[in-house]
Amino acid sequence: MSTAFFWIFVMLLALGMPVVFALLVGPGLSLVLDDQRPYFAALLSRLYNGIDSFPLLAVPFFILAGELMNSGGITARIVNFSQSLVGHVRGGLAQVNILSAMLFAGISGSAVADASAIGKMLVPAMEANGYRRSFAAAVTAAAAVIGPIIPPSGIMILYGFVMNLSIGALFAAGIVPGVLMGLGLMAVTRLLASRYDLPVAAPRATWPERGRAFRGAILALLMPLILLGGMLGGIFTATEAAAVAAAYALVVTLFVLRSLRVRGLKEIFVATAVQSGVILLLVGAAVTFGWLVTMSGMAEAMAATLVSITDRPLLLLLLLNLLLFFLGMFLDAGPAILILGPVLGPVFASLGVDPIHFAMIMCINLTVGLATPPMGLVLFVVASVANERVERIVRALLPFLAVHLVVIVAVTCFPALTLTIPRWLGFVQ
Amino acid sequence: MNGPGPHRPLPLLDRPIAVLAAFNAPVTRAGRDIAAALIGCMVVLAVAQILSRAIFSHTLDWAEELARVALVWGVLLVAPYAYRSGANVAIGSFAHALPPRFLAACSAALNLLVAWICVMLLLESFEFWRRGLSLTASALPVRMSWIYSIVPVALAALVLVSAELVLRLLRSLVRPDPELTLAGAVPGIKED
């Protein structure tokens, strides 16, 4: 079988065909031109089987949980709690933005959801507090990137499914890089706050005030603990944890906080159905594409080419970072993970790179790509929420992007940053 | 997407587009709404599974299979809506830098390719469905053909949507179509 399907796919993608169709038309055209009818007949069953999987149920469940929490006013409670902790620091609202994104990351698992939820609340507040709008938007975009790195994470679920890796292990591996990224962003914000003379957000909260803010946010903050506790305690699987998250969000917003009405649910469920439908059809198409990559021997050929450059895995991983950073500028994280995972994963596994470590390099790189132009979904969301031009946001984003790059290099060079917690929890030997 | 040319009737295109739109709009929206309801069913099934295991130490095998069926049905039911509304992810940076006429030609060619793959997969789907006649679901008392029946239905809906979009794209070359938008270089229709 020739590898023409791959080049047809690349051409269609560059011309602007939606990724899901390019993943099917590329192989379809190539197989018809090569007169490989039996393989063509298998395309449909591969597509169907690519979607027909219990672990994939986690995708709509986490999207639903995020939508419910967001619409149910949970974001405001998280922001209030963050403000009570760091609002008194110079550049306080920017710090609140980053801390809120870290806490929200434990609920939503999506950078776009983080950017939209926190941006809508904090960008106007920061502007009113004396921040430049471009700076407020840049902080929001940089912090939102943490969303899919701290568990739960939508792209880790997709990667775990496509590459047959433990989703629990991937979630555990994301904790240290996510926290490091958050702390790095807070440190850079503190430096910029002195340089630009950024204001404090509020006087230092007293401990009783912090206690009240904590009680207000406790239902949201409990969610990641319930999820991780349930998974690690063997009560439920990662997929079932996602269902618990959705059910928990439904009960909390409808019956405990009463911040949502039953009438408002239709819109939330429809948005969830469309988002998850788009993602999961892409998963099915990517599984089909990955099957052809394996059948054509392309992965082996690529491994041979890479090894001919250098046989030092660390150097190859650093080169991979450059490639992923570049591709992340043009491709959304989900499709990029689904396309590149099956191609590159086996290559680096054969070079002795731990699959969980490799997965984290992929996930973090491509997530950071969400905040880089020209194809940065988070950037677009923040630009729309803040009503600010993308190029201005990008300029203000540069110091924060440096933090992202430092974390990527650190994760690449020190596998212990990603593998220690999964080892403690027994996911990795 | 706005093309050049005066506002004049084009009966050869207007009529089939009107017929296709009158069918596609409500059908794709109904598919989307059923998919939304199926999400609720999936949550109930997954939580029922956990509770049954935790309280009664009994695994509901049928619940897992039913949730998977709901997932596949949901994804395939939403696909025509996502295509029609331009909700699919694409790289638009290069396409949008093309001159308008070249972009329109490129869009038409790409959309024809999408239509082609949908037709080809639709033809394959009948054989796929037929194979299901001889298979029974592992935990549900139904033939797999019942479960597979969504595949030709969704692909037929995708073919009809692609036909509507190709015709709208052709019409937009001579008359502006304010409803038409682009997902990358493939057209979609703005939803209300």
For B9, counting Cβ atoms within 10 Å of its Cβ (0-12 exposed, 13-18 middle, 19+ buried), the class is: exposed
pLDDT-derived band at B3 (thresholds 50, 70, 90) equals: very low
B170 touches chain A (CB under 8 A): no
**Average pLDDT taken over every residue of chain A:** 87
Q: Within a 13 Å sphere around the CA of A362, how many CA atoms are in the beta-carbon half?
A: 30
> Could you give the CA distance from residue A240 to residue A238 in angstroms, rounded to a whole number?
6
All residues at 6 or more sequence positions from A244 whose CB lies less than 8 Å from its CB, including other chains: A226, A227, A230, A236, B47, B50
Identify the residue with better confidence: B12 or A251: A251
Residue B88 pLDDT: 86
Task: Please spell the DSSP secondary structure of A60-127, one letter per residue.
Answer: HHHHHHHHHHHHTTHHHHHHHHHHHHHTTSBTHHHHHHHHHHHHHHHHH--HHHHHHHHHHHHHHHHH
Closest C-alpha to A408, from A338, A348, A320, A329:
A320
Please check whether residue B104 is in contact with residue B4, taking contact to mean a CB–CB distance below 8 angstroms: no
B47 to chain A, any CB pair closer than 8 A? The answer is yes
Instruction: Give the N- to C-terminal CA distance of chain A in Å, as an integer.
Output: 37
Coil, strand or helix at B175: coil
Residue B183 and residue A18: Cα distance in Å, rounded? 7
CB distance B89–A334 less than 8 Å?
yes
Confirm if A149 and A364 have CB atoms less than 8 A apart: yes
pLDDT over 70 at A274, yes or no: yes
ipTM of predicted complex:
0.92
DSSP letter (8 states) at residue A149? T
Residue A410 confidence (pLDDT): 96
Nearest-5° angle of CA A210, CA A181, CA A86? 20
Please tell me if residue A366 touches chain B, with a CB cutoff of 8 Å: no
Q: Tell which B residues from 72 to 91 touch A, by Cβ distance under 8 Å.
A: 72, 74-79, 81-82, 87-91
Asked if residues B54 and A296 have their Cβ atoms less than 8 Å apart, the reply is no
Angle at CA B29, nearest 5°, toward B25 and B32? 150
Cα A136 from Cα A125, distance rounded (Å): 9
**Interchain CB contacts (distance < 8 Å): A and B:** 183
CB-based contacts of A57: which residues, under 8 Å, 6+ apart?
A239, A242, A243, B42, B46, B67, B68, B71
**H-assigned helices in A297-376:** 298-309, 313-330, 333-350, 355-368
**Residue B120 and residue A40: Cβ atoms within 8 Å?**
yes
Grade residue B192 by pLDDT with cuts at 50, 70 and 90.
low
- Name the region of B135 (left: φ>0; alpha: ψ -120 to 50; beta: rest): beta
Rounded to a whole number of angstroms, the distance from the CA of B43 to the nearest CA of chain A is: 5
Q: Is B123 on the interface with A (CB under 8 A)?
A: no
Partner-chain contact B71 A269, CB within 8 Å: no
Partnered with residue B180 across adjacent β-strands are: B189
Q: Are residues A84 and A210 in contact, defined by beta-carbon separation less than 8 angstroms?
A: yes
Cross-chain Cβ contact A17/B110 below 8 Å: yes
Separation CA A193–CA A78 (nearest Å): 23
A48, A61, A265, A330: best to mutate for the B interface, most B CBs within 10 A: A48
**DSSP letter (8 states) at residue A353:** -
Asked whether the beta carbons of residue B117 and residue A24 sit closer than 8 angstroms, the reply is yes
Residue B88 three-state SS: coil
Q: Which of residues 87-146 of A touch B (CB under 8 A)?
A: none
| Nearest Cα to Cα of residue B87 among B189, B192, B179 | B189
Per-residue pLDDT band for A418 (boundaries 50, 70, 90) equals very high
Q: A101: burial class by Cβ within 10 Å (0-12, 13-18, 19+)?
A: buried
**A60/B71 CB distance under 8 A:** yes
pLDDT tens string B87-119: 887 777 777 788 877 888 888 889 999 999 999
3-state secondary structure A254-301: HHHCCCCCHHHHHHHHHHHHHHHHHHHHHHHHHHHHHHHHHHHCHHHH
pLDDT for the residue B32: 97
Q: What is the pLDDT of residues A170-179, one digit of tens each?
A: 999 999 999 9
Q: Which residues pair with B182 in a beta bridge?
A: B187
Indicate whether A307 pLDDT > 90: no
Residues B96, B103: contact at Cβ < 8 Å?
yes
Q: What is the mean pLDDT of residues B60-83?
A: 95
Which positions 252-281 of A are in contact with B (Cβ < 8 Å)? 266, 269-270, 272-274, 276-278, 280-281
For residue A244, list chain B residues with Cβ-Cβ distance below 8 A.
47, 50
Cβ–Cβ < 8 Å for B61, B139? yes
Q: What is the DSSP string of A189-206?
A: HHHHHHHHTPPBSSSPPP
* Res. A411 pLDDT band, cuts 50 70 90: very high
Q: Do B75 and A28 touch (CB under 8 A)?
A: no
To the nearest 10°, report the CA torsion of A23, A28, A33, A39: 120
Structure tokens at B19: 């017929």
Convert the pLDDT of each residue in A216-238 to its tens digit: 888 888 887 888 788 777 788 87
What is the average pLDDT score of chain B? 88
Q: Would you place residue A375 in the very low, low, confident or very high pLDDT band (cuts 50, 70, 90)?
A: low
Q: Chain B residue with minimal CA distance to A273?
A: B36
Whether B82 and A281 lie within 8 Å, measured CB to CB: yes
Q: What is the DSSP letter of B97?
A: G
Tokens for B77, please give them: 């039911």
